[in-house]
Structure 1
Amino acid sequence: MRIGFAAPVSGGWAGPAEIAHIARTAERLGYHSLWTYQRLFGAVDGSWGEAGRSVHDPLITLAYIAAHTSRIRLGVAVLVMPLYAPAVLAKQLTSLDVLSAGRLDVGVGNGWADEEFAAAGVSAHGVGRRADDFLACLHALWTREIVEHEGPFYRVPPVRFEPKPVQAPHPPVLLGGNADAVLRRAGRRCDGWIASGRTDPASIGRSIAVVRDAAERAGRDPDTLRFVFRAPIRLRPDGTGGQSPLGGPAAKIRDDVAALADTGLTEVFLDPNFDPEVGSPDADAEQARDRVELLLDELAPEPGPAPAHGAAPDHRAAPEHRPKDTPC
């Protein structure tokens, strides 16, 4: 199970210097990936949590991180599909994949905030059918020399779409969401599934089984799929919060993360943005940075084998757990 980390995107600690510093530190310490998330608005009554009050755009943040790193993979968990036209998003993602030398992982989901749907001028109804059409349109844009797509929600007339992504056939597309229909869609159409931070760790194994079963029924190899979990961690060196999963002292969090390997996950990324003492706009930015630096150091993955002397990383190769031919 690979270990990633979340980039600063929420609150006062998410300034340009802090983002660059955390990204470079995570890469130096051997973390596999860095992740952002999307939140367009915060709730007026604060009911969406502190981590939703003040959030940077996820793709702009990843582009900034790409310029400050060279090896670590770059992921977003997740982009809300109804907020985009597929062709516009495909262009943004392709540019990011090219400019990062093929390091991009794309998480997408249906979203849930009626306020965001309203602001984007789309309906919250039929999001499942819309997702199928969106994924099919992305696939056409990324894989066909002459692109033409005619679906119930999206249409692309015959055109050329260039450049293509560095990763072939396209960047890994991972579907977020916990409903059974979403899990089955991930197995049929995508490169894997992303479990949100609200997912009960005890239910992950069952959800992975649903995804794998759907993949097998669709004639796909479930062993090629990736299963990623956002782990919302709260470091409390004094021992408070130790009763909750992924909270408390560093040693306890490390044990909680290690236990997730038995669920079938292929990757976990540690996310302090959802700790109100880190990701809230009211949190002390300097104290938040110190807390996260301690987390980065204490929970760093075991170092892997060193590359051969003088060898350059090949970002063009598809990552492990990646289907060779994905229909999304």
Structure 2
Amino acid sequence: MASIQLSMGIPSFSAEAPASWEHLTDWAQLLEGCGFDRVLVSEHIAFGMNMEAYANPETGGTEGGRQPTGPDGHWLDPLVILTYLSARTQRIRLGTNILLAALRPAAVLAKTVATMDVLSNGRIDLGVGVGWQREEYDAAGVDFDKRGAILDQTLEVCQRFWRENEVSYASPGLSFDRIHMMPKPIQSGGVPIWVSGTVNRPVARRLARFGSYWIPWGPDARDIAGGIDRMRAAVEGVGGDPDGFGVTGSLRVKADAEGRSDLAAVAANAVAQAKAGVTDLRVTYWPLGSENRERGLRAFVEAVRTAVGG
């Protein structure tokens, strides 16, 4: 069985102001030491009062979902966090899950991410999506109803700046001529882009054009095998390579009353997802307390690696 990557999201947000944010460094170094491939952080720039929109699939949310903080939750900027963590780690990759890339001017984002890649020695992954919150786009002065098209434009401009020496671009909303931007990212072809979303034609086009990986969302994340089949067909339908992208899956670790995790169940789940086509397994919540954390994480990594390779 082909090897699989292991990633974990760490809490870069807090419902209340924490006494310190040093847990970010602690988590990143711990995951690196335990053999994880990637550490992930999420993003919100601002909040409106309509937090229930997170559970509305029609605007990008997920049915039954709940935002982890209220509107006054504390959220750190993910690009700043990953730059900070790049100086405190050596090997582990550093990714966004996800960045609302359309909220940033394309050239500014291209420069920022290329700089991060250079300073981290080529360890950056850029996970992107359109988000669910209209008020966040309003606060940034970006048209929520055009967010998909703006995201596509942003990704195109970023990749061209990362790959080409001289770039000219013309669209109704953005035009420039013979622009140079250095340095380029260390990674060949630029920073890998991970496209988040459900199976639909715009997301399939985005993945086919720009993406190296797909982050399933909503019902396609819950039915990962069916979601992969549907996305491969959708990507092929827009002229892309149905086998040309990796796929993220999710592993949930449960602990019993004594704080022990069922690693046999974790391994079986990992094998099933790998057979379905998942190439990156992500842990979004770690149930064991700090006393057992390192031992539990090492046992988890060993169980998954033994089951699926890597």
Give me the TM-score of the superposition, normalised by structure 2: 0.79
SS of 2:6's equivalent in the other structure is strand
User: Does residue 4 of structure 1 match 2:7?
Assistant: yes
The answer for the alignment partner of 1:269 in structure 2 is: 282
Please report how far the alpha carbon of residue 44 of structure 1 lies from its aligned counterpart in structure 2 after TM superposition. Answer: 4.1
2:114 and 2:246 mapped to 1: Cα distance? Answer: 21
The answer for the alignment partner of 1:296 in structure 2 is: 297
2:77 and 2:293 mapped to 1: Cα distance? Answer: 21
User: Does residue 150 of structure 1 match 2:170?
Assistant: yes
Task: Kindly provide the CA deviation profile for residues 92-141 of structure 1, in whole angstroms up to 9, marking residues without a partner as x.
Answer: 11011111101111111112101101101111112332232222211221
2:173 and 2:179 mapped to 1: Cα distance? Answer: 18
Please report how far the alpha carbon of residue 49 of structure 1 lies from its aligned counterpart in structure 2 after TM superposition. Answer: 2.4
For structure 1, which segment, 148-157 or 73-82, has the greater mean C-alpha deviation from structure 2 after superposition?
148-157
The answer for the alignment partner of 1:323 in structure 2 is: none
1:187–1:211 CA distance, 2 compared to 1 (3 A): farther
For structure 1, which segment, 106-115 or 6-15, has the greater mean C-alpha deviation from structure 2 after superposition?
6-15
Identity %: 26
CA contact (8 A) 1:133 1:153 kept: no
CA contact (8 A) 2:129 2:196 kept: yes
User: Does residue 117 of structure 1 match 2:134?
Assistant: no
SS of 1:38's equivalent in the other structure is coil
Please report how far the alpha carbon of residue 73 of structure 1 lies from its aligned counterpart in structure 2 after TM superposition. Answer: 1.2
User: Among residues 212, 231, 246, which one is paired with 1:191 in the alignment?
Assistant: 212
The answer for the alignment partner of 2:184 in structure 1 is: 164
Task: Say which structure, 1 or 2, has more relative contact order (CA 8 Å, 6+ apart).
Answer: 1
Please report how far the alpha carbon of residue 144 of structure 1 lies from its aligned counterpart in structure 2 after TM superposition. Answer: 1.4
Please report how far the alpha carbon of residue 290 of structure 1 lies from its aligned counterpart in structure 2 after TM superposition. Answer: 4.7
Please report how far the alpha carbon of residue 249 of structure 1 lies from its aligned counterpart in structure 2 after TM superposition. Answer: 3.9
The answer for the alignment partner of 2:55 in structure 1 is: none
- Please tell me the residue identity of whatever aligns with 1:90: A
The answer for the alignment partner of 1:49 in structure 2 is: 67
User: Among residues 136, 141, 161, which one is paired with 1:141 in the alignment?
Assistant: 161
1:167 and 1:49 mapped to 2: Cα distance? Answer: 34
Please report how far the alpha carbon of residue 33 of structure 1 lies from its aligned counterpart in structure 2 after TM superposition. Answer: 0.9
Structure 2 unpaired stretches of 5+: 53-65
2:203 and 2:227 mapped to 1: Cα distance? Answer: 7
The answer for the alignment partner of 1:91 in structure 2 is: 111
CA contact (8 A) 2:106 2:157 kept: yes
Please report how far the alpha carbon of residue 224 of structure 1 lies from its aligned counterpart in structure 2 after TM superposition. Answer: 3.5
The answer for the alignment partner of 2:42 in structure 1 is: 37
1:270–1:303 CA distance, 2 compared to 1 (3 A): closer
Question: How many residues are paired up?
Answer: 285
User: Does residue 26 of structure 1 match 2:45?
Assistant: no
Give me the TM-score of the superposition, normalised by structure 1: 0.75
1:7 and 1:202 mapped to 2: Cα distance? Answer: 21
1:45–1:152 CA distance, 2 compared to 1 (3 A): closer
- Please tell me the residue identity of whatever aligns with 1:5: M
Please report how far the alpha carbon of residue 225 of structure 1 lies from its aligned counterpart in structure 2 after TM superposition. Answer: 1.2
The answer for the alignment partner of 1:325 in structure 2 is: none
The answer for the alignment partner of 2:58 in structure 1 is: none
Please report how far the alpha carbon of residue 260 of structure 1 lies from its aligned counterpart in structure 2 after TM superposition. Answer: 2.3
User: What do you get for the CA RMSD once the two structures are aligned?
Assistant: 3.2
2:291 and 2:256 mapped to 1: Cα distance? Answer: 12
2:10 and 2:19 mapped to 1: Cα distance? Answer: 8
1:149–1:60 CA distance, 2 compared to 1 (3 A): same
1:174–1:200 CA distance, 2 compared to 1 (3 A): closer
The answer for the alignment partner of 2:124 in structure 1 is: 104
CA contact (8 A) 1:86 1:134 kept: yes
Task: Kindly provide the CA deviation profile for residues 194-216 of structure 1, in whole angstroms up to 9, marking residues without a partner as x.
Answer: 124x4554422233224333444
1:304–1:90 CA distance, 2 compared to 1 (3 A): same
1:14 and 1:72 mapped to 2: Cα distance? Answer: 26
Please report how far the alpha carbon of residue 304 of structure 1 lies from its aligned counterpart in structure 2 after TM superposition. Answer: 7.3
Please report how far the alpha carbon of residue 219 of structure 1 lies from its aligned counterpart in structure 2 after TM superposition. Answer: 5.5
User: Among residues 268, 272, 291, which one is paired with 1:259 in the alignment?
Assistant: 272
